[in-house]
Amino acid sequence: MKPEKTYKKLFTYATVAEPRKDVGIRVVTRIQKARIIQIRVRAGVYSFFVLGTLTGLAPAGQNLWNSATESGFLQFASLGWSDGASVLGSWKTFAFTLAESAPILETSAVLGLILVGAYSLKRSTYYFSKMSVGTETSFATA
């Protein structure tokens, strides 16, 4: 018999131990606990972002309003309603003036906050709903 085969045969005599069945159960329990902590942390983080964006929206909105007023954007924009015919006649000039006076940075800030706030609200709602349902079901289908 080739040496490799004799040693292969030898190791069939080696003791093969069985772990207790509760080792697997302990792993599953530990994973479920880790999942619960993960969900709570994520719910907390996204809630923090929601609060943060809500807190930031008021000053950002005020800032946007102030910039739009100071730059004259609001006055120019209102011309479109009050004197539509003149605006149509010189629409290129009107468009350039509007673009120049538009508070781009402030608008981006407000839109960004709304997007982040909406996404955070969606995720925090998802994770809070998972907290109430629980995570025990995921192993049950095995």
Partner 1 sequence: MNTDEDLVREIKKGDDASFHILMSRYMKHVFNFILQYVRVREEAEDVTQDAFFKAWKHINRFKDGMKFKPWLFTIARNTALDYIKKKKAVVFSEMDQTDSDGEAISTFSDTLTDEAPLPPEIFANKELGSQLDVAMNILHPDHRAVLIMHYHEDMTFEEIADTIKKPMNTIKSWHRRSLEKIRDSLVHIRP
User: Is residue 26 at the binding interface for partner 1, with CB under 8 A as the rule?
Assistant: yes
Tell me how crowded residue 63 is: count the other CB atoms within 10 A of its CB: 15
Binding mask 109-138 for partner 1 (x = CB under 8 A): -----------------------------x
User: Is residue 85 at the binding interface for partner 1, with CB under 8 A as the rule?
Assistant: no
Among 48, 91, 96, 139, binds partner 1 (CB under 8 A): 139
Measured from the CB atom, is 13 or 81 closer to partner 1?
13
Q: Is 64 within 8 Å of 99 (Cβ atoms)?
A: no
Measured from the CB atom, is 2 or 92 closer to partner 1?
2
> What minimum distance in Å lies between the beta carbon of 49 and partner 1?
22
**Segment contacting partner 1 by CB under 8 A, of 21-29, 47-55, 80-88, 93-101:** 21-29
Enumerate residues 31-50 that contact partner 1 by CB under 8 A. 31, 34-35
Residue whose pair of structure tokens reads 């309603």 in the numeric block: 81
> What minimum distance in Å lies between the beta carbon of 46 and partner 1?
18
CA distance 35 to 37: 5
The residue ranges that bind partner 1 (CB under 8 A) are 1-4, 6-11, 13-20, 23-24, 26-28, 30-31, 34-35, 138-142
